[in-house]
Amino acid sequence: MTGRPHGRGIRHIDLTAVQPASSETARRINRDIVLEIIRENQPISRADLARRSGLQRSTVSQIVEQLIREKWVREGAQATAARGRRPTLLGLNEDVLVIAVDIHPRRATIATVDLNGHLLAQARATLTREPQASTQLIVQAMQRLRGMIPDKTIEGIGVSLPGRVDPATEQLIFAPNLHWPQFDLKSAIEAAMQLPVWMENAAKACLLAELIFGDLDGNRDVVLVTVSEGVGSGVFANGRMVSGHHGMAGEFGHIILDASGPRCACGRTGCWEVFASTRAALRYYHELEPDARVATFAELLHLAESGNDHAAQAVEKQARYIGDGLRIIMAALAPGTILIAGDITSAWHRYGPVIERAASKQTLAGSAPRILPAHDGDLARLKGAAALVFQRRQIMSEGL
């Protein structure tokens, strides 16, 4: 089993690296294994669960009944059988949802997400540098979405943020691109929605989404890099999510590449993100076409894909800097896999090879890590916010 053993940890069960136990002391491990097998193989019978897990059928039945009581799992249709009693199939309970919030400096995307990671409905809220007013707009969007699903159970709210959350205080402590003064976002949302709220850095949320909903079993050293208005990183090292002191591990975007470079929102000059972010790509384009009216990276990417040479040059320059900056991660952590999340992944066929070539030049020894786009691109942040809630609620259900 991987992860931290207390309520604020993020845990992932890698089925290629665990062995089921039958003693009472391993009850929680067995429960997690069964739930993960259901997630990956639903609909599935109790008998198939026993075969796949290696657990006794009686143990599986007890765990399944517990998961049904906790509303994680529900019974569905009966499977066909050549003879004898037809088994009842099990699957995750699609009536259990969470509200996921992905915050960017100027906007927030709010969604309802089920246990399978499916986004059911979305809303947008425009944000300002005033956190109270921005939070009110986010809450209004959440209330509209909740009103659309009166027959569903909302387990909680997950928030992915462009900054770092202190695990001890659960407060946002570092978010230079958000430009918010100190503000208790968690308490404000909890008071308005009367639901528990869990917050996490966007890169860590994306990485959690990959671990839960992606295909990373067998990978014990992974770094996920989010590329948006800033550049952030989530670290999964030796099979564990890494938080570091005050939750600050992985701030590679604020390591200086060139001290003579542009000023960063953090106050320094020449940080990786001032060269590799979506804002950097827009800057490169406006240097080539000063009179162009392109305000968003999505517009820039559309221009590039439509044949605009200056737009393509700007995004390619950004991609090279993404690859150049990966040398910091490769030298510090030597991950086997690096995932990239963000809008640039929608044109991975064009810019992925640019990133890979730039990164391959930085390899100190051995083979370079695999560099891949994250599943669902920028939607990974929403799925990560949702997965955060499911993981924390699961830990609470276990009594940890």
Which CATH number is associated with domain 24-92? 1.10.10.10
Q: What is the pLDDT of residues 97-120, one digit of tens each?
A: 999 999 999 999 999 999 888 899
Secondary structure element (H or E) that encloses residue 171, with its range: strand 171-174
Return the pLDDT at 367. 80
Tens digits of pLDDT across the chain (400 residues) = 344 333 344 456 666 655 554 455 577 788 888 988 998 899 999 999 999 999 999 999 999 999 999 889 999 877 666 566 778 999 999 999 999 999 999 999 999 999 888 899 999 999 999 999 999 999 999 999 999 999 999 999 999 999 999 988 888 999 999 999 888 999 999 999 999 999 999 999 999 888 888 778 788 999 999 999 999 999 999 989 999 999 999 999 999 999 999 999 999 999 999 999 999 999 999 999 999 999 999 999 999 999 999 999 999 999 999 999 999 999 999 999 999 999 999 999 999 999 999 998 877 777 889 999 998 776 888 999 998 888 776 655 555 4
Domain pair 24-92 / 96-206+381-398, same fold: no
How far is the C-alpha of 70 from the C-alpha of 88, rounded, in Å?
Answer: 18
Tell me how far CA of residue 19 lies from CA of 15, 206, 236, 238, 363, in angstroms. 8, 27, 21, 17, 35
Local structure of residue 14 (DSSP, 8 states): -
Strand order in the sheet with 107-114: 119-126, 107-114, 96-103, 153-161, 197-201
Q: What distances in angstroms separate CA 168 from CA 131, 178, 379, one per listed residue?
A: 22, 21, 27
Fold classification of 218-374 is Nucleotidyltransferase; domain 5 (3.30.420)
For 24, the 3-state DSSP assignment is helix
Residues in Cβ contact with 167 at an 8 Å cutoff, skipping those fewer than 6 apart: 8, 243, 246, 247
Helices (H), the chain: 27-41, 46-53, 57-69, 131-147, 185-193, 202-213, 273-276, 278-288, 297-305, 309-333, 348-360, 380-398
Fold observed for domain 96-206+381-398: Nucleotidyltransferase; domain 5 (3.30.420)
Contacts of 391 (CB under 8 A, 6+ apart): 10, 11, 208, 212
Which one-letter amino acid corresponds to residue 91?
A: G
The residues spanned by each domain of the chain are 24-92, 96-206+381-398, 218-374
- Residues 132, 205, 333: CA angle, nearest 5 degrees: 125
Give the Cα separation of 80 and 10 in Å (integer): 38
Query: Model confidence over 324-358: pLDDT tens digits?
Result: 999 999 999 999 999 999 999 999 999 999 999 99
pTM, 2 dp: 0.85
**Residue whose structure tokens are 């917050």:** 199
Single-letter code of the amino acid located at 290? P
